[in-house]
Amino acid sequence: MNKLLTAAVVALIPLAGIAAEKTQPVTPAGQSGTFEAFDANKDGRISMPEASADPKLVENFSAADKNGDGYLDNAEFDERAEPPQR
């Protein structure tokens, strides 16, 4: 009985890893994603903890937060993605 239980647990461990991967941020670190991908709690704004899924977004967060409220709304997020004009 113990061997059967142990075998079942060992067999399920990879499935736990797959489930954990699906709860991770949608975008890989260092790559920009969509506003919706970062807005994990779907409140219409991106907080610093939500932005932490992308180091580049964290790096530029303060500059992108034009109104200084500590969040990026959709317009601020879109403006951050635009290349600088020369």
| HEC per residue, 5-41 | HHHHHHHHHHHHHHHHHHCCCCCCCCCCCCHHHHCCC
Look at domain 2-81 and name its CATH class. Answer: mainly alpha
| CB burial string 25-34: b at 16+ within 10 A, e below | eeeeeeeeee
Helix (H, G, I), strand (E, B) or coil at 46: strand
- The candidate with the shortest Cα–Cα distance to 70, out of 56, 49, 40, 85, is 49
The pTM of this model reads 0.59
Report the share of the chain in percent with pLDDT over 90.
50
The ranges assigned to domains in the chain are 2-81
| Tens digit of each residue's pLDDT (9 = 90 or more) over 22-34 | 444 444 444 458 9
Q: How far apart are CA 14 and CA 12, in angstroms?
A: 6
